[in-house]
Amino acid sequence: MNEKLCLRALERSDLRFVHNLNNNRNIMSYWFEEPYESFGELEELYNRHIHDNAERRFVVENMKKELIGLVELIEIDYIHRRAEFQIIINTEHQGKGFARELINRALDYSFTILNLHKVYLVVATENEKAIHLYEECGFVEEGFFVKDIFINGQYRDVKRMYILQDKYL
């Protein structure tokens, strides 16, 4: 990957980009969320969570200021020092090697800035590419949930994967 990426805090001006991602059924199936959110709902959600310390949302842009994707740490728990990790790469930028760099940047932020002990994620078991990538980045399987999520008319199995601060650092 030769292209430089910038990870920055989500701004109100980024909501149209997020709205487009949220309304892509294929993308949202990987986040196990319902697509087709209205822009008004998204604005309301942004306003409600802008000062929420339990979440960190970042947009990714390239040097041309094109928006590439989202990186999120949610459910941040400062007592137990853990958070859930989520990533979306816009379909037109998938397959370019961006995800690996962004995962590592998110982990670096999680462990060196937020001083988290554990970062975890949930991934559909049939998403073999993502599982392989997460494993290459140091995540290991923590658990397996049978028919836990509903995607495209079917219940699917998921894995929960994690990485610990001391393992990463």
Report how far residue 141's alpha carbon sits from residue 121's, in angstroms, rounded to the nearest whole number.
Answer: 10
Interaxial angle between packed helices 128-136 and 98-108, expressed in degrees from 0 to 180 and rounded to the nearest 10: 50
Q: Say which residues have a Cβ less than 8 Å from residue 64's Cβ, sequence separation at least 6.
A: none
Catalytic status, residue 134: yes
- Among the listed residues 78, 134, 155, 162, the single catalytic one is 134
Q: What are the residue numbers of the active site?
A: 134
